[in-house]
């Protein structure tokens, strides 16, 4: 930058002195002397077209026609500096005293092109072999000067870094600069357009000379783009680029800011900057393009956060590491802005089908520790929250360390994955949750009163809440303590076989409910529910269409006693239809089928018993006849076959004895 300033003022002085010399020498000759001297020093060609009109007293100055300064030899992008006209004035009396006091500079349509080659060469660095005599320490370097007023109109500035592939262009540059003291304060006030967005910049430097040399100096900077306002009060320097001080920013017009830097405006959810963004705190920007915020406050729509943050940019994506504390935090935009399925809660026919845009998750990676007094997620409302949010390549993981919710506690993990679409999942454990407000928020269902424990693993895929709910898969279990089911008197319904025990004023008091479940394609299935109440103990099985918002469930009592403790019936209860208006009816047909099945089973068992008895009688008769005909007498525990074998063996033994007796000379 020092070379840019140096060459600029060298050009001004050469033009002024050339104009003065016009009184003594021909115009063409003086112009040639001035341009030759400039070329000798810088190695660049200075071209002054048209006439040069001088003035001498009290202001030494000139007005020129078009002026051009050539670019470095390695560039093919055209002149480095161009201007339609220059009007320069220097205080003659101050110059006689050895001081350079520029009273005024006016440049019309100046065009400045700065370039950095792939090999690192910069077109604003002059001197070196074959490139002029300019060098550090040359005569005149560091000569102090003052500037009463410089004016630019219709200018442009462009910086091209061929190695980095960046191209920054400012157009419609107009404004003023004042440097009343070379070693003191300086002020700049400019407007310009970048990427089609107009911006206004007002800057004040505490020490112009030190800033020119690249050192940190006091800096007061104000930037406005559209309705967005950014203010900085602290210190800044450019060699290397660095800032430290207090920042205030109101980015209500976020589109103007993103357009200014050449980025697409992120479609942020409500609560995360959809309407407004404001920042305040102590900021440090390092030469590695990292940003650090201390004692910061961040406003995102209606949310107000206290932030300690570090933003680095040396990876594949910017990474934000932060500690955030807040009071009430609203994140309803992450769920489409509604809970309970739609504005009508359970009365709605379906879940919202509007697309949920989570593209903001891909802007940067995040490691954020959050402490909040309450969090509204749209689908659910949380109390005191301690959680860690990690975003890696558009995948957000909420590690729930301590979540107070619905009078209970929630721990576990919740994931929002925005890679190539949207999916949500979790592994959550909930204890002591008040079910009525929880189910009201999740689905607009208010009939279940009591506290419960639940564990659930789930996964849903889709770009809308409707698609996610219709794709849910997973498993879980639940257990409720004492509570009530409002609008339904199950015991009365079953005791009287009257399905009219439904409606306002009716309720079922229960002692416990336990169940496990699985989910697939948005349908929850359960077959092991156990329901215990003072007058009814029942089991249940069926399905809950989470996506379709319908019920198809069968509750079967296993014991039912009348209020006076006598009697009892067993009639299944069917619960079907939409969440908004479920239907309850006694399954008389089902119980009739069950009884027919029971009777058929009893008849089958009786027939089997009778057939077995007949078979036993026939066997006994056969055994008796065999004993009579063969002379067999069964001994205790002996089968008929064993008795026959024994009788045959006895007969053989007897005959053998007789034969042996005859052989030995005995009788018979």
* pLDDT band (50, 70, 90) for residue 668: low
C-alpha dihedral, 457 to 463 to 468 to 473, nearest 10°: -50
Residue 191 has pLDDT above 90, yes or no: yes
Token pair 């320490």 in the structure block, residue: 137
Find out whether 8 and 1 touch, Cβ atoms under 8 Å. no
Q: What's the pLDDT at 536?
A: 79
For the entire predicted model, the pTM comes to: 0.66
Token pair 């008796």 in the structure block, residue: 624
* pLDDT band (50, 70, 90) for residue 559: low
Higher pLDDT residue, 595 or 399? 399
Give the pairing type, strands 365-376 and 319-330.
parallel
Distance CA 17, CA 10 (A): 11
Residue 3 has pLDDT above 60, yes or no: no
* pLDDT band (50, 70, 90) for residue 240: confident
Q: pLDDT > 70: what percent of the chain? A: 75
Q: What is the mean pLDDT of residues 62-68?
A: 84
Token pair 């198809």 in the structure block, residue: 552
Q: What is the mean pLDDT of residues 26-39?
A: 61
Higher pLDDT residue, 391 or 95? 391
Nearest to 454 by CA among 486, 416, 406: 406
- Bridge partner residues of 550 (DSSP): 545, 578
Average pLDDT of every residue of the chain: 80
Q: What's the pLDDT at 345?
A: 47
Distance CA 98, CA 281 (A): 46
Q: Measured between alpha carbons, how far is residue 247 from residues 210, 293, 303, 312, 524 in Å?
A: 22, 9, 19, 18, 52
Residues 452-487 pLDDT 10s = 899 999 999 999 989 999 999 999 999 988 888 887
Q: Which helix (H) or strand (E) holds 111?
A: strand 111-116
Residue 521 has pLDDT above 70, yes or no: yes
* pLDDT band (50, 70, 90) for residue 650: low
**Which pair of tokens denotes residue 411?**
């721990």
**Which pair of tokens denotes residue 381?**
């409302």
Higher pLDDT residue, 198 or 625? 198
Residues 108-165 pLDDT 10s = 999 999 999 999 888 887 765 556 555 555 544 556 778 888 899 999 999 999 988 8
β strands within 301-394, DSSP E: 303-312, 319-330, 365-376, 381-382, 385-392
What residues have CB less than 8 Å from 520, skipping those under 6 apart? 473
Find out whether 101 and 56 touch, Cβ atoms under 8 Å. no
Q: Where are the domains of the chain?
A: 1-180, 266-471, 478-586, 632-668
Q: What is the mean pLDDT of residues 246-263?
A: 84
- Give the number of other CB atoms < 10 A from CB of residue 530: 14
Residue 660 has pLDDT above 80, yes or no: no
* pLDDT band (50, 70, 90) for residue 302: confident
Distance CA 584, CA 586 (A): 7
- Give the CA angle between residues 357, 361, 362 to the nearest 5°: 105
Distance CA 530, CA 478 (A): 11
Q: What's the pLDDT at 22?
A: 44
Higher pLDDT residue, 92 or 351? 351
Find out whether 517 and 525 touch, Cβ atoms under 8 Å. yes
Residue 34 has pLDDT above 70, yes or no: no
Ranges 35-49, 272-286, 399-413: which has the least confidence: 35-49
């Amino acid at each position: 930058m020092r070379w840019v300033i140096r060459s600029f003022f060298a050009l001004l002085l050469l033009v002024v002195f050339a104009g003065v010399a016009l009184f003594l020498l021909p115009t063409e000759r003086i112009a040639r002397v001035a341009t030759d001297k400039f070329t000798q020093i810088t190695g660049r060609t200075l071209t002054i077209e048209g006439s040069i009109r001088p003035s001498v007293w009290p202001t030494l100055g000139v007005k020129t026609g078009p002026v051009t300064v050539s670019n470095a030899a390695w560039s093919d992008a055209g002149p480095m500096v161009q201007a339609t006209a220059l009007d320069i004035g220097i205080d003659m009396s101050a110059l006689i005293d050895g001081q350079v006091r520029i009273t005024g500079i006016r440049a019309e349509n100046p065009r400045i092109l700065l370039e950095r080659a792939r090999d690192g060469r910069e077109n604003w660095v002059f001197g070196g072999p074959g490139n002029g005599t300019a060098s550090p320490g040359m005569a005149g370097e560091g000569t102090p000067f003052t500037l009463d007023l410089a004016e630019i109109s219709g200018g442009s500035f462009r910086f091209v870094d061929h190695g980095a592939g960046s191209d920054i262009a400012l157009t419609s540059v107009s404004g003023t600069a004042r440097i009343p003291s070379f070693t003191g304060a300086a002020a700049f006030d400019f407007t310009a357009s970048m990427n089609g967005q107009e911006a206004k910049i007002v800057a004040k430097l505490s020490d112009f000379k030190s800033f020119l040399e690249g050192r940190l100096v006091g800096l007061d900077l104000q930037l406005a783009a559209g309705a967005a306002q950014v203010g900085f009060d602290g210190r800044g320097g450019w060699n290397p680029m660095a800032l430290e001080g207090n920042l205030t920013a109101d980015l209500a017009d976020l589109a103007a800011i993103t357009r200014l830097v050449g980025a697409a405006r992120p479609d942020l959810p409500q609560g995360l900057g959809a309407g407004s963004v404001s920042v305040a705190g102590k900021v440090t920007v390092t030469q590695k393009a990292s940003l650090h915020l201390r004692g910061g406050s961040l406003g995102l729509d209606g949310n107000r956060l206290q932030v300690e943050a570090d933003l680095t940019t040396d990876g594949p994506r910017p990474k934000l590491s932060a500690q955030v504390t807040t009071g009430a935090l609203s994140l309803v935009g992450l769920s489409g802005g509604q809970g309970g399925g739609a504005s009508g809660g359970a009365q709605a026919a379906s879940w919202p089908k509007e697309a949920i845009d989570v593209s903001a998750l891909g802007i940067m990676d995040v490691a954020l520790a959050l402490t909040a007094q309450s969090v509204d997620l749209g689908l659910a409302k949380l109390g005191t929250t301690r959680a860690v949010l990690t975003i890696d390549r558009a995948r957000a993981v909420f590690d729930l360390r301590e979540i107070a919710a619905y009078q209970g506690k929630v721990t576990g993990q919740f994931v929002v994955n925005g890679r190539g679409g949207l999916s949500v999942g979790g592994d959550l454990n909930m204890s002591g949750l008040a079910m009525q407000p929880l189910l009201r928020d999740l689905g607009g269902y208010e009939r279940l009163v009591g506290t419960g424990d639940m564990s659930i693993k789930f996964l849903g895929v889709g770009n809308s809440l409707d698609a996610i709910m219709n794709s849910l898969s997973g498993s879980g279990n639940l257990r409720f303590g004492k509570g009530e089911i409002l609008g339904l008197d199950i015991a009365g319904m079953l005791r009287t076989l009257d399905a009219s025990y439904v409606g306002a004023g009716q309720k079922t008091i229960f002692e416990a409910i336990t169940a496990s479940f699985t989910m697939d394609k948005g349908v929850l299935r359960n077959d092991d529910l156990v329901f215990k109440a003072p007058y009814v103990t029942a089991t249940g099985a069926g399905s809950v269409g989470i996506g379709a918002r319908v019920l198809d469930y069968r509750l079967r009592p296993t014991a039912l006693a009348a209020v006076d403790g006598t009697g009892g019936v067993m009639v299944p209860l069917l619960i079907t239809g939409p969440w908004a208006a479920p239907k309850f009816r006694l399954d008389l047909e089902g119980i009739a089928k069950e009884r027919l099945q029971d009777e058929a089973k009893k008849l089958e068992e009786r027939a089997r018993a009778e057939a077995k008895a007949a078979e036993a009688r026939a066997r006994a008769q056969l055994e008796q006849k065999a004993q009579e005909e063969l002379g067999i007498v069964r001994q205790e525990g002996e089968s008929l076959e064993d008795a026959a074998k024994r009788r045959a063996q006895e007969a053989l033994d007897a005959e053998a004895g007789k034969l042996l007796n005859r052989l030995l000379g005995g009788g018979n």
